[in-house]
Amino acid sequence: MGTAVVGPAVAEEPPPSSSPRPSEVPVKASAGALTLDEAVKRAIQRNPTAEVAAQEILRAEALAKQVRATWLPTLNANGTYTRLDADRVLGDRIVAGANQLSANLQLNVPLIAPRQWVAHARSKENVAVARAAGIDARREVALAAARAYLTVIGQRRVLSSAQRALDTARAHEEFASTRFQGGVGNRLDAVRASQERATAEVRVKTQLVSLARAQEALGVVVGEEGSLDAAEDPALGAPPSIESALGEAAARRADIAAQRDRVEVARKASRDSWVDYLPVLSAVAQPFYQDPPTLTQPRTGWQAQLVLQIPLFDGGARYGLAEEREAVEAQARARLEGALRQARSEVRVAFESMRRADEALASARDAATLARESLELAELAYKTGATSNIEVIDAERRSHDADTAAAVAEDASRQARLDLLASCGRFP
Look at strands 300-309 and 229-230 and give their pairing.
unpaired
pLDDT-based confidence at residue 20 (cuts at 50, 70, 90): low
Proportion of the chain above pLDDT 70, given as a percent: 94
Q: How many CB atoms lie within 10 A of CB 83?
A: 8
pLDDT of 32 > 70? The answer is: yes
- The mean per-residue pLDDT over the stretch 218-223 comes to 94
pLDDT-based confidence at residue 323 (cuts at 50, 70, 90): very high
Q: Report DSSP state, residue 424.
A: T
pLDDT reported for residue 354: 94
Rounded mean pLDDT of the chain? Answer: 89
Q: What's at 107, amino acid-wise?
A: L
Cα distances (angstroms) measured from residue 40 to each of 138, 214, 260, 379 = 9, 16, 26, 46
- Does 167 or 96 have the greater pLDDT score? 167
pLDDT reported for residue 21: 66
pLDDT of 2 > 60? The answer is: no
Per-residue pLDDT tens digits for 122-158: 999 999 999 999 999 999 999 999 999 999 999 999 9
pLDDT reported for residue 91: 78
pLDDT reported for residue 152: 96
pLDDT of 166 > 70? The answer is: yes
For residues 41 and 80, the answer to whether their CB atoms sit within 8 Å is no
Q: Report DSSP state, residue 386.
A: S
CA angle 111, 112, 115 (to 5 degrees): 135
Give buried/exposed letters for 159-184 (b at 16+ CB in 10 A, else e).
Answer: bbbbbbbbbbbbbbbebbbebbeeee
Per-residue pLDDT tens digits for 359-387: 999 999 999 999 999 999 998 998 888 88
pLDDT reported for residue 385: 81
Per-residue pLDDT tens digits for 278-318: 999 999 999 999 988 887 888 999 999 999 999 999 999 99
- The mean per-residue pLDDT over the stretch 241-253 comes to 92
pLDDT reported for residue 23: 57
For residues 391 and 160, the answer to whether their CB atoms sit within 8 Å is no
Most distant CA pair in the chain, distance: 140
Q: How many CB atoms lie within 10 A of CB 120?
A: 20
Helix axis angle, 187-222 relative to 389-423, nearest 10°?
Answer: 10
Per-residue pLDDT tens digits for 35-86: 999 999 999 999 999 999 999 999 999 999 999 999 999 999 999 999 888 8
Give buried/exposed letters for 37-53 (b at 16+ CB in 10 A, else e).
Answer: bbbbbbbbeebebbeeb
Look at strands 280-291 and 229-230 and give their pairing.
unpaired
Between 17-21, 220-224, 244-248, 262-266, the lowest mean confidence (pLDDT) is in 17-21
For residues 129 and 60, the answer to whether their CB atoms sit within 8 Å is yes
Rounded to whole angstroms, the Cα distance separating 334 from 321 reads 20
CATH superfamily of 24-72+120-276+317-423: Outer membrane efflux proteins (OEP) (1.20.1600.10)
C-alpha 117 chain-centroid distance: 35
- Of 216, 206, 224, give the one whose Cα is nearest residue 148: 216
pLDDT reported for residue 68: 95
